[in-house]
Structure 1
């Protein structure tokens, strides 16, 4: 198990009371607003690195007809997410990593990920898997600290920056790229909305 997954296994019971969980709320709101703007009625929503399910709880109100799926590498996080999610229409919870998504090709039309890239074993492998499982009209909405050390080169606005990598190595193209307001200096986040190219 990767070190970051072990950390979240230990942190799960108190994660929702932490500062980082509170700081993530405006990031989740921005991701869901952007997703709703571009795809108002998704059939599915997969939240990669769902943690304790905070984004999924908000998504249930915004996308009442979507099948919600939470995925995380930490079993303890998924346990908390199951316990804190209302039983009616509760999201499916899947233990897996971004680099090996357990879903068929072209099966999901909305995938979200917030503040998770640094915990992936391989960014390119994760993005390739996301591209594989997205439907032709699907969206991947991603937000993370900008620049998210230690992956500064992936985000840098240059020929080898985020747009170049997404467009050239993963089959995704950026349709929205902006900073997220309200995160403050502790969490200067950026939002990318992407679709299959």
Structure 2
């Protein structure tokens, strides 16, 4: 990540997030894991101000939960707001995660990998810390989102491009290729986290591979 892109206003937006406004989004995110979840240890990569960790505490009250993030400003907020949870500093792109190998049942990462120049180290370390049978779930903008191309044609700005800290986008195919070398199994990817169109009772579902949002679930 390039720190100069992360302005005070960017941090303010992260710190201002509340669990109440995100609980429904996080519930849908976790629902993409189709098998029963009873994790004893969870690591959230790119935890920001800790809202997903707080949701995971509600969902899995007996689990040990650790949030990792590179930047101290949101981490300080997370520690203050959620004192019962553990948060540590870690450069997810370059540093070994401060977690024992094969010790984590669930790794989450919500809208993080698009901020990285390279995801090789991120996936290598994720696979290392996952216990046998463990699961990783992540969400990122879909690089093949149909609305990205509509925005180009209409001269508007695709929603994900409003965030100037984004470095790279992935799609259903490229993220599977990126994960292939690192020993994951039971791999699935889903696009279209929202319908293409919704107004009243009229709902047009997202087009396969071209929907907004990409959720990836991978087991070890």
TM over 0.5: yes
1:136 aligns with 2:160: no
Structure showing greater radius of gyration is 2
- Are residues 9 and 96 of structure 1, via their aligned partners in 2, closer, same or farther at CA, if it must alter by over 3 Å? farther
Q: CA RMSD in A?
A: 2.9
Other structure's SS at 2:6 match = helix
2:127 match: secondary structure: helix
| Separation of aligned partners in 1, 2:126 and 2:60 | 20
Q: Say if 2:91 is the partner of 1:97.
A: yes
SS of match in other structure, 1:50:
coil
Alignment coverage as a number of residue pairs: 182
Q: 4+ runs of 1 displaced by more than 4 Å?
A: 24-27
Q: Which residue of 2 aligns with 1:3?
A: 2
Tell me, what secondary structure is at the counterpart of 1:57? helix
In 1, Cα distance between equivalents of 2:80 and 2:133: 33
Separation of aligned partners in 1, 2:52 and 2:195: 16
Matching residue of 1:112:
108
Residues 27 and 180, structure 1, Cα contact 8 Å, conserved in 2 = no
Q: What CA deviation, in whole Å up to 9, does each residue of 1:1-52 have, x standing for no partner?
A: x42486167633442447xxx6x665422222234x4242101111100001
Report the counterpart of residue 194 of structure 1 in structure 2.
Answer: 218
The reply to whether residue 56 of structure 1 matches residue 58 of structure 2 is: no
SS at match of 1:118: helix
Q: Deviations over 1:105-142 (max 9, x none)?
A: 11111100011002234201110110111111110101
Question: 1:155 is matched with which residue?
Answer: 171
Scaled by the length of structure 2, the TM-score of the pair is: 0.71
The reply to whether residue 171 of structure 1 matches residue 183 of structure 2 is yes
* Other structure's SS at 1:38 match: coil
